[in-house]
């Protein structure tokens, strides 16, 4: 588990989903998270949303980067 990778994964999530109307609440929850549990839940939900949008390669990359933390 690398905190740099987790930060990179979160950046990818924000970049990709910030313009997605259905993800606005998710992004806000992750941005305002006060503990690791909330961040983990946000990452898992973001990966699910990316898969819904057909962005499986990006979702797989985020899972890989957050292995041992959120997955």
Q: What is the pLDDT of residues 5-64, one digit of tens each?
A: 999 999 999 999 999 999 999 999 898 999 999 999 999 999 999 999 999 999 999 999
**Global model pTM greater than 0.85:** yes
As to burial, measured by CB atoms within 10 angstroms (0-12 exposed, 13-18 middle, 19+ buried), residue 41 is middle
Confidence class of residue 69 from pLDDT cuts 50, 70 and 90?
A: very high
């Amino acid at each position: 588990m690398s905190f740099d990778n987790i930060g990179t994964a979160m950046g990818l999530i924000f970049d990709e989903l910030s313009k997605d109307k259905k993800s606005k609440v998710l992004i806000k929850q992750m941005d305002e998270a006060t503990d690791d549990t909330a961040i983990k839940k946000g990452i898992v939900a973001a990966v699910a949303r990316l898969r819904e949008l057909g962005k499986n390669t990006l979702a797989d990359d985020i899972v890989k980067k957050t292995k041992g933390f959120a997955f």
